[in-house]
Amino acid sequence: MSDDCVFCRISRGELPAKIVLEDEEALAFRDLNPQAPTHLLVIPRRHVESVDALEPSDQALAGHLLLLARKAAREEGLSEAGYRVVANIGSEGGQTVAHLHLHVLGGRPMSWPPG
Ligand code: 5GP
Ligand code: ZN
């Protein structure tokens, strides 16, 4: 847990967010600055800095986050057309919030490679 981490504060209900799914371990909410018609963020409640900070003991949590991303995408109606799940890691990876999050993007065709 981190007092000044924006995603920890969302997880604790101290900052508002449009939450679409939540449970004891994790939550999914809408990105403040969406890059696609549907843009969700899936985060663990526990403060983990990034995918790179995951430990072998976090295996269940890592799987849980992916399955929550899948569940949120299904509920948003993205499964048939397809969607993208992305984790930015560190400065060259484009990570701006240092609390692990999966982006779930959908509702338009995605290009590759990413910028
Ligand atoms: P990153 O660049 O770290 O991969 O992604 C961080 C994401 O968090 C960005 O897409 C940004 O729009 C989103 N974001 C930053 N602050 C907030 C916030 O306070 N609320 C919500 N809902 N999204 C945020
Ligand atoms: Zn945090």
CATH number at residue 88: 3.30.428.10
pLDDT tier at 100 (50, 70, 90 boundaries)?
A: very high
Ligand nearest to the CA of 90: 1
Active site residue 39: no
How many domains does the chain fold into? 1
Residue 1 counted as domain residue: no
Over residues 66-94, mean pLDDT: 98
| Closest alpha carbon to 45 in 66, 22, 25, 62 | 25
Taking only the tens place, the pLDDT of each residue in 12-65 is 999 999 999 999 999 999 999 999 999 999 999 999 999 999 999 999 999 999
Name the CA dihedral angle for 56, 83, 98, 95, rounded to a multiple of 10 degrees.
Answer: 110
Domain containing residue 100:
6-106
Measured from the CA of 18, which atom of ligand 1 is nearest?
22
| Average of per-residue pLDDT across 63-72 | 98
Q: Which residues line ligand 1 (CB under 6 A)?
A: 6, 17, 29-33, 41, 88, 94-97
Taking the complete model, does pTM exceed 0.85, yes or no?
yes
